[in-house]
Amino acid sequence: MTDSPLRVAMIGHGFMGAAHSVGWRQAPRMFDLPRAVDMAVVVGRRADAAAEAATRWGWRGAADDWRAVVRSDEVDVVDIVTPGDSHAEIAIAALDAGKHVLCEKPLANSLGEAEAMAAVADRARERGQVAMVGFTYRRVPAVTHMRDLIAEGVVGRIAHVRAAYRQDWLVDRDMPLAWRLQREHAGSGALGDIGAHIVDMVQFVTGQAVTAVSGTLETIVARRPLQAAGSGLQGTAGEGYGDVTVDDAALFTGRLSGGALASFEATRFATGRKNGLEIEISGERGALRFALEDLNALEYYDRTAPEDRQGFSRILVTEGAHPYLSGWWPPGHMLGYEHGFTHQVVDLVEAIATGTSPHPTFAEGLSVQRVLDAVERSDHDGSRWTSTGDEA
């Protein structure tokens, strides 16, 4: 183990780059990390934009050639926050160059890429490198707490899982054709972007794999104005129209390895729902529910309580005994969306310093990708039940 700071290169600097920058900046300030963090360099296609991002988000330098950066002896960790079409190439190059890697979700745009990435990560692991996928919501304290309670047996045997991630940013038909609506850049639409989160969350909190799915994908608005300027989530329309080549909504049912039946809903057309991720677990002994729009709380139903006292109660996950909370404010003070990104850095740095493997590994990212791929195949085959190939 070395005491030198971990020198981080972040490739990309859009919305996720801002969120990851907050994580890299806050983690060493709020938590006692075993290694210092050096926010060494942010990389973008345009040198001027990368330099602006570096200044704004607190990176020491900026560059426009990611290949040179991932090979550089001055870099220990590569953090990938680009659209999915470049995840595989950058992650594999970085792992081959001996770097630790954090890669935004979903792991890749296709199953083949994800398989290649997981194989390279496995070999890199033998050399002591870590590779982690950015399923950040695992690190919302209430979600980690939910996982711990389920592992303790609080809900008992699980019969049902209901998971939904509903947003509404595409309801406006004039919203332009951003990269997130183009298959060659995003891989899929609501399925891979937000469906991936709920698949990962279900597998994480239950400890069970999704083994088979029956799915339906829908593109609700097939053509949109070309984008003149903007990001993946907003922008201004230019001249002409283009085809939307991804799904706007993905609905699927799934069977879990422990026998539960799960429902999944991922849509960008849920009018009024902004970041509506919800998950409810129904078991023999009780139930637990989490909603991202109320992220400091869990709902808990205890079926073993006396009959006249049964009912959903609310656990505020804001106490020192709760996951990650000891690093923050006095008991009772709330956290938000960005804190998960800080907790992600805390766990990554601890894993690098101790030589352990931080979850979710690339293998876990691959397992989510298998589910996404099976949903697409199922939809293609008239919603036929389709195996994910994952039995773990």
CA distances to 24, 189, 222, 250 from 245, in Å:
34, 8, 8, 14
State the binding string over 116-155 for ligand SOE (x if CB under 6 A, else -). Answer: ----------------------------------------
Which residue, 109 or 167, is less far from ligand SOE as judged by CB?
Answer: 167
Q: Which residue is nearest to ligand SOE (CB)?
A: 193
Using alpha carbons, select from 268, 232, 215, 131 the residue that is nearest to residue 388: 215
Using alpha carbons, select from 49, 33, 37 the residue that is nearest to residue 8: 37
CB-CB contact of 32 with 352 (8 Å): no
Interface pick for ligand SOE out of 79, 193, 364, 373 (rule CB under 6 A):
193
Residue 307: how many other CB atoms lie within 10 Å:
6
**Minimum distance, C-beta of residue 279 to ligand SOE, in the bound complex (Å):** 15
Residues 6+ apart with CB under 8 A from 330: none
Tokens 């780059």 belong to 17
Which residue, 290 or 301, is less far from ligand SOE as judged by CB?
Answer: 290
Residue 197: how many other CB atoms lie within 10 Å:
23
Using alpha carbons, select from 338, 370, 24 the residue that is nearest to residue 200: 370
Which residue, 284 or 293, is less far from ligand SOE as judged by CB?
Answer: 293
Interface pick for ligand SOE out of 53, 130, 194, 256 (rule CB under 6 A):
194
Spatial distance between the Cα atoms of 256 and 136, rounded to a whole number of angstroms: 22
Which residue, 233 or 353, is less far from ligand SOE as judged by CB?
Answer: 233
What residues between 244 and 303 interact with ligand SOE by CB under 6 A? 275
Pairing of strands 210-218, 386-387: antiparallel
Which residue, 255 or 268, is less far from ligand SOE as judged by CB?
Answer: 268
**Minimum distance, C-beta of residue 312 to ligand SOE, in the bound complex (Å):** 26
**Minimum distance, C-beta of residue 194 to ligand SOE, in the bound complex (Å):** 5
What residues between 319 and 378 interact with ligand SOE by CB under 6 A? none
Residues 6+ apart with CB under 8 A from 153: 285
**Minimum distance, C-beta of residue 253 to ligand SOE, in the bound complex (Å):** 22
Residue 153: how many other CB atoms lie within 10 Å:
12
Omega of the bond leading into 360 within 30 degrees of 0 (cis)? yes
**Minimum distance, C-beta of residue 84 to ligand SOE, in the bound complex (Å):** 10
**Minimum distance, C-beta of residue 39 to ligand SOE, in the bound complex (Å):** 21
Q: Is 21 an interacting residue with respect to ligand SOE (CB under 6 A)?
A: no
State the binding string over 155-184 for ligand SOE (x if CB under 6 A, else -). Answer: ------------x-----------------
What residues between 219 and 248 interact with ligand SOE by CB under 6 A? 233
Which residue, 193 or 373, is less far from ligand SOE as judged by CB?
Answer: 193
Site residues (vs ligand SOE, CB under 6 A): 167, 193-194, 233, 275
